[in-house]
Structure 1
């Protein structure tokens, strides 16, 4: 289900320097998401989205984006989809993300797209154009096992499909890599999973992998997650409660070993574990032209 809504603003400013993704602005063209990931932090009560599975389309988003980009004095990286996936299935019909990318290209702003949606390959032409300034695509992949992915990310493309999309982006010359997060304790926090993911990323020519060996679990998100654990992993909810109580963050008890495994595997395949961020042109650079 979906409906159109009107928004007062469209670009959110990142208050602190983003050392993970290099973003200065957040752009969410929709409210809610249809991927159904059982762990999604955006379900948390603090975001005040009553029915997260009901998609709200910001009907005036493009008009606002034109207006707000014209007024921005700082040219910084725009993150697409911090609260939802900008390439979920509804985008195929609405093409709101594509039209927003056209506006971003016109205003010559850098972008960083974080997605599980393979539809991102549709917009390779625009990403190439934006890459003249800066464009990055991070594809979230949490497990090397397509069957497990179906259980924890039921309506998202399979992990195999996402790796294929990554390969297509890289072959097109797009700066693209993987966000390996979240890692769910007792579900995908195995050495085997981490090792296989890095190997598969290398085979897809990932430009980087950003990893975090844990997950958030807070009010609103927690209740939904626990209900899904009862359905998909009976008995595991009690283990979460006993291990983590009402903590905000749940790091894998295997975290240190997983982090070492991750770092060693990335070193083996020569894959950076940090992104290269957009660098504004300096006065000295401008004089060259």
Structure 2
């Protein structure tokens, strides 16, 4: 009888714990942003951040930002959502505060956690001005009233409340702050690589829970969406493979590697829809940081 009582008590506590997790709110309400946004700079950040690359279905000739090609992962298939100004299918009814919370915290307007296929962990240090600029840019995107398909995620990964536990265990803060003693280009590269361009999202291996293994940052990954792979981009690995700062900056513009071959797969898309639009200075800053060559 005592055993049954203990089991019942344990089950009750477990149920209460589950209810508490489900009810546990994530994120926080951002302070109001009343800055005037620069749509041109916002469009630049959207390119750098992969918004246009990921949320446009280029293979099917889809409208810009109306929803991207499906991402096939071991947890299921994720469909990047519509980011146009459609009131019914996109962000047309959002406020800038809701946008800021989504981008920097990974929390939707209804308070649900976004799946980490959305690299919000890298955007957490975007400033209010960055958010205002991005929001101004998105206001210029024509509405497309076709919603992206729902994610195809099996149980238990379809239970978004479980993402609260994932966030608590695996969500690191981006390290984009300037490092004293380093040059401005190196620190600009750090801000880009560790933040908005989120290089580590694809070039860092992930554990069984899909979180980045930070002790192996930039050492490459073998389980990217679509069975793609990425090489190591640590300073040592790049140097061993003969990369120079000029080579890397040029490759980020053209997609052409030092041996004359071209980037393929996901990296080809990153260049085509993202880094090729960056300034020469920013591409060189990325190369400076990745190779850890100051000056």
TM-score (norm 2): 0.26
TM-score (norm 1): 0.26
Q: Which of the pair is proportionally richer in strand?
A: 1
